[in-house]
Amino acid sequence: MKFNPADNIQDLQYFGEFGGVNPSISDSSTYTFLSAKTMFDTFEGNMEGCYLYSRHSSPSNLYLDKAMAAMEGTETANVSASGMGAITPTLLQLCGAGDHIVSSRTIYGGTYAFLKNFTPRFGIKTAFVDITKLEVVEAAITPETKVLYCETVSNPLLEVADIAGLSKIAKKHNLTLVVDNTFSPLSVSPVKFGADIVIHSLTKYINGSSDTVGGVTCASQEFINQLKDVNSGASMLLGPTMDSMRSASVMKNLRTLHLRIKQHSLNAAYLAERFEKDGLKTVYPGLASHPSHKLYASMINPEYGFGGMMTVDVGSLAKANELMELMQSRNLGYLAVSLGFFKTLFSAPGSSTSSEIPLEEQVEMGLTDGLIRFSIGLDNDIKRTYEMMKACMQELSIL
């Protein structure tokens, strides 16, 4: 049977304590035991189905873990309080003093800052490379390298990682390939192409309502056990635990993810095609002009499309700011960071989400001043949105 991430989610069934159609929320931090022996065994991790303390695990979080693992095709998963709360323990679990990471240079600003400024304090060094050039990636590997890190579709430049190619390199050098799939849930299933660990910021598309932060690490049972080990697990000991109320809430939003992704993709593809025809410098993986269009087309589960993220370069930061303010005043979207909301969100990444990246490096990677990153919303009539956006651009002499 063909792997379909949304079908895998749908095929899971959970009932609430009283036969409710939604699972019960475990509103407790600690759990009682009838016998002291069972408590000891649970602490040691030997009692399947028993709960001890909600930083270790809780029924609500395990439900969402299961759904995330089903979506990504991994044995299991571990949800966390934020995307960074998934990324940082995962990398600290995989690497110790003296170890080395090869990472894409176009990654989420927080991840970049963690690898560039924070992990060196623990003796972990990172080489940042152009992830689209496999020979450059391989050349950066040293005998100390443990991890190859990338985003499926990079933030904010929408570069596409050749996960199958990277996986070959990772296997050859015995590295763990970690892929942040935040921009492309359902569209891309990185495990199919050989990723070992898949991470999401649930804050974005998966939750989709911009009301919480959350994250998940999808991996083998063995690795998740390591993360959650009471004596040596980075997730257990650093403690970025998701609250049960939140995981129940994210779980309910997950029910519509497949519908939302399809609509985000349709709307973004429509706008990207029009804006490119109008002569704007538009980057969208669904456009034939995108350098990795063919590769990405071969990677996606086609029914979910090329995703809802696109960028447009309007020439200067001043113009970008003027346009974003005008579009917001016409209620075409919000001038806000983040993505995956029902409403279109736009920001200038150079001055916001990627501001951790030094200016000269921004220039080198093609992150220009006038770049606007759009997370296209669920607009019912995208043609109408296009006409209104175009009017804004014409008023500001961008078009």
Binding site for ligand PLP (CB under 6 A): 82-84, 108, 110-111, 151, 155, 180, 182-183, 201, 203-204, 213, 215
The amino acid present at 121, given as its one-letter code, is R
| Closest CB to ligand PLP among residues 76, 80 | 80
| Closest CB to ligand PLP among residues 83, 333 | 83
Chain residue at closest Cβ approach to ligand PLP: 83
Nearest partner of 341 among 379, 382, 300, judged by Cα = 379
Give the nearest distance from C-beta 353 to ligand PLP in angstroms: 8
Give the nearest distance from C-beta 214 to ligand PLP in angstroms: 6
Pair of tokens at residue 345: 């969100």
60, containing H or E segment = helix 59-72
| Closest CB to ligand PLP among residues 273, 361 | 361
Give the nearest distance from C-beta 315 to ligand PLP in angstroms: 25
Give the nearest distance from C-beta 188 to ligand PLP in angstroms: 13
| Helix pair 244-254, 59-72: axis angle to 10 deg | 40
| Closest CB to ligand PLP among residues 244, 385 | 244
| Closest CB to ligand PLP among residues 199, 300 | 199
Beta strands in the chain (DSSP E): 76-80, 100-104, 125-129, 145-151, 176-180, 197-201, 215-219, 281-283, 309-313, 334-335, 345-347, 371-375
Enumerate the H helices of 11-50 as residue ranges.
36-43
Nearest partner of 171 among 139, 189, 148, judged by Cα = 148
| Prior bond of 156 cis (ω within 30°) | yes
Give the nearest distance from C-beta 72 to ligand PLP in angstroms: 15
* Full DSSP string of 141-187: --TTEEEEEEESB-TTT--B--HHHHHHHHHHTT-EEEEE-TT-TTT
Give the nearest distance from C-beta 11 to ligand PLP in angstroms: 27
| Closest CB to ligand PLP among residues 45, 109 | 109
